[in-house]
Amino acid sequence: MIILHSFWLSLATYRVRIALNLKRVAFEERPHDLSQGHQHSVAFRSVNPAGAVPALEGATPEPLTQSLAILEWLEETHPTPALLPADAAGRAKVRALFLLTAADTHPLVVPRVRAQLKQRFGVEDAAGVEWAAHWFREGLAAYEALLAPGATRCHAEKLSIADLALASHLIGAARFGVSLEDYPRVANVGASLMAIPEVAAAHPDLQIDAPGRLLN
């Protein structure tokens, strides 16, 4: 059985969860409360010494970590539906769009970075929120410039890992109160993506460890 180590708030895990849903890969989700420091336990560090999610365990000799690496593995081992274009230029474009979120934005706004800003540099909570919102807006502006007018997908009107990244970017931006008013192309693609059942089902707020679900 494939185990997806996760935390409901994790945008990186959201990207992987979407791909697992789309490719109809059976998996068991094992949530860890990163807000309570569970990632520092010996048991979790044996899965991922970096203390981060997602981690995919049970499909390979060693657990897989990092959302892009997991997505690339899924693409090679479960190629249908394809989430990378058939041509080299298209694959490069899609990976670049993916990294706008996964490399250029997400690492700057994760909770452990915001915690360091507060603890070591005295950044107030409100300033921390604006810090995150700024980087989400920067990413949205880049997507807006790169997306085609009227597009419903990030590249060539075909679902790809770039769309998974954009979906996670939109959820993160919404958490920090970022409006999409200035990003109509992004908003159009985002609305189309969120209408896909596998994308909707993977939404962080619907996961078993999300606060609303824990009360049920």
Question: pLDDT category, 63, cuts 50, 70, 90?
Answer: very high
The fraction of the chain above a pLDDT of 70, given in percent, is 98
Please state the domain extents for the chain. 2-81, 88-200
CA atoms within 13 A on the CB side of 164: 30
Q: Which of 69, 87, 89, 88 has the alpha carbon at shortest distance from 161? A: 69
Lowest mean pLDDT among 132-136, 193-197, 208-212: 208-212
**Residue reference for tokens 């989700």:** 29
Number of C-beta neighbours around residue 183 at 10 A: 22
The reply to whether 88-200 shares the fold of 2-81 is no
- Distance CA(21)–CA(15), nearest Å, equals 10
Q: Which residues does residue 155 pair with via DSSP β-bridges, in sequence order?
A: 158
* Segment 132-158 mean pLDDT: 98
Per-residue confidence (pLDDT) for residue 212, from 0 to 100? 72
| Predicted confidence (pLDDT) per residue in 68-117, tens digit | 999 999 999 999 999 999 999 999 999 999 999 999 999 999 999 999 99
Per-residue confidence (pLDDT) for residue 216, from 0 to 100? 35
Helix ranges (DSSP H) in the chain: 11-22, 42-47, 67-77, 88-102, 106-109, 111-121, 125-146, 161-175, 184-194, 197-201, 211-214
Fold assignment, 2-81: Glutaredoxin (3.40.30)
Examine residue 61 and say whether the peptide bond preceding it is cis (omega within 30 degrees of 0). Answer: no
Query: Computed over its alpha carbons, how large is the radius of gyration of the chain?
Result: 17
Does the pLDDT value for residue 42 go beyond 70? yes
* Segment 153-180 mean pLDDT: 98
Q: Which CATH architecture has domain 88-200?
A: Up-down Bundle (1.20)
Q: Which of 38, 41, 48, 34 has the alpha carbon at shortest distance from 3? A: 48
Q: 0.85 cut: is pTM over it?
A: yes
DSSP characters for 80-102? SS--S-SSHHHHHHHHHHHHHHH
Per-residue confidence (pLDDT) for residue 94, from 0 to 100? 98
Per-residue confidence (pLDDT) for residue 7, from 0 to 100? 97
Per-residue confidence (pLDDT) for residue 215, from 0 to 100? 38
Does the pLDDT value for residue 1 go beyond 80? yes
Question: pLDDT category, 213, cuts 50, 70, 90?
Answer: low
- Distance CA(124)–CA(106), nearest Å, equals 20
